[in-house]
Structure 1
Amino acid sequence: MVEIKTPAEIEAMAEAGKVVAAALAAVGSHAAVGVSLRELDEIARTVIDGSGATSAFLGYRPSFAPTPFPAVICTSVNDAIVHGIPDGYRLRDGDLLSVDCGVLLDGWAGDAAVSLTVGRPRPADLALIATAQAALEAAIALCVPGGRLGDLGHAIARTGRAAGCGTIEEFGGHGIGRAMHEDPHVPNRGRPGRGLTLRPGLVLAIEPMFTAGGADGHVTAADGWTLCSTDGSRAAHVEHTVAVTDDGPRVLTRR
């Protein structure tokens, strides 16, 4: 069931969004050559705990997962698209890192992701991240009353295809509110003018994820969580929590 939020509830979600933005900013500022993914997770934990929030990721176990998620952020490196588990891997010069974070604050969720480069960036990685960010901004701009859910997926897919990127169809964005994952599913492909009509009070987590090699689909790593590109090419993942309002889209997780 798709739940519509009141203006007061959207304000409460914006507070959760501030915590997510702060955690991602802290992680991004510490993501450097030699820093371990587990250290980045501890940095995010410190921000979340200090804000009086709790992690929406820690202990989360969807139907596809073999075990509960053991961390407060997802850290996906190079060919990992999403759901990477923070471990002892130490970042190397030229790595492409995607970080996803979700929190619960006073009963409301926020969810966002960023992609960034470590050390000396590869131009191709910067272009891939820019494409993902452009797709996200294009979808956000369409979060207006009377729009259709298919418009968002179409804008995301069109942006990725124009840059020669691959996508994964099974995973995408989602509704968000009292729980991190609510209806509706927000696919990264769609037909314009089709799907759910957007109404004021609808809040969506929109998350383009692209692979550089152009191949669609994914393979799942041995940990049962991490989704990787099928061709070994690098991946980027970005996300914001966005409210549809009478005044246009409101991004709740932008710093």
Structure 2
Amino acid sequence: MTTRLEAAMVIRKTDAEIEQMATAGAILAEVHEELRAALRPGLTTADLDKVAARTIEKRGAKPGFFGYNGYPAVINASVGDQIVHGIPSRETKLRAGDVLSLDCGVVWNGFHSDAACTWIVGGEEAAPEPLRVLVAETYRALWAGIGALRVGNRIGDVSAAIGAVGAAGGYGVVSDHNGHAIGGHGIGRSLHEDPFVPGRGRPGRGLRLKPGLVLAIEPMFTTGHPGFRTLGDDWTVVTVDGSTAAHWEHTVAITEGGPRVLTARPEELGRTELSHLG
């Protein structure tokens, strides 16, 4: 889940706290794998919300989104032109070729994890190539941003790495519009902490990265304009021009040895060769 922070407090975590967050992250990775396995045309986004709720309960954890500022569901399920915060509904039936972003959070022993994946309903072959590439390039930008999470770098280096991938592909890089900003964020005992991590920025600017910082990195790209607006439900964020959006996110701890991805799914475990992806 993404937000623009109001308070200003950067909280570094101890090694023990990061281990608690790693447990929350591992549970969340399992949730995303269960969602991916369940995904098929004909399901509703409310069906997927139930899958996430059951998986979290089975692991003895708590959902991080349900009840957050009144949010009514366990996951965000954003389809097509919905960038983020789409509320699951029995009325939203998925079709082959839909671009679907699933965002979820887990709380374990008081610590949060936050991650998002974008999938094509019915498999990649169900969507035209431009949409398949959108999803893949947004994912590549996620890892470019993670690769910049090195001690001594700055937040601007992370934002610039994400934005560079979007700019090279000609995508709209969602960050700020009409006085509103959405993007990545710090995370820990609260779902949203400082610092804010924009989707685009200038290298060498912003907070210097230190060991113990834990950040949710979440690029959002569109096939058109990067502008966005919020629907009347006060949650769902959509593109201003109706273009399709993709959204990926991981919770990552900054360590002396490099970034540690706490929400890595099995196929991503051990992916430490990040420097070449920037």
Q: TM-score range by the shorter chain?
A: over 0.9
| TM alignment of 1:164-183, pairs within 5 A | 164-168=170-174, 169=176, 170-183=181-194
Runs of 4 or more consecutive aligned structure 1 residues displaced over 6 Å after TM superposition: none
1:22 partner SS = helix
Identical-residue share of aligned pairs (%): 51
2:173 partner SS = coil
In structure 2, the partner of 1:41 is: 49
| TM alignment of 1:1-255, pairs within 5 A | 1-61=9-69, 68-88=70-90, 89-119=92-122, 120-168=126-174, 169=176, 170-213=181-224, 215-255=225-265
**Could you tell me the TM-score, scaled by structure 1's length?**
0.95
Deviation of 1:122 (Å): 2.2
Deviation of 1:167 (Å): 2.4
Question: Distance in 2 between the 1:175 and 1:44 partners?
Answer: 23
Question: Distance in 1 between the 2:170 and 2:128 partners?
Answer: 17
Question: Can you list the C-alpha shifts for 1:83-135, whole angstroms capped at 9, x where unaligned?
Answer: 00000111001100000001110011100000000121221111001111111
In structure 2, the partner of 1:65 is: none
Count of aligned pairs between the two proteins: 248
**Could you tell me the TM-score, scaled by structure 2's length?**
0.88
Gaps of 5+ in 1: 62-67
Question: Distance in 1 between the 2:250 and 2:131 partners?
Answer: 20
Deviation of 1:193 (Å): 0.7
The letter of the residue matching 2:110 is G
Question: Distance in 1 between the 2:229 and 2:151 partners?
Answer: 37
| Root mean square deviation, CA, Å | 0.8
Question: Distance in 1 between the 2:43 and 2:222 partners?
Answer: 24
Question: Can you list the C-alpha shifts for 1:121-156, whole angstroms capped at 9, x where unaligned?
Answer: 221111001111111101101111101010011111
Question: Can you list the C-alpha shifts for 1:46-99, whole angstroms capped at 9, x where unaligned?
Answer: 0111111111100111xxxxxx11100000001100000000111001100000
Question: Distance in 2 between the 1:217 and 1:229 partners?
Answer: 6
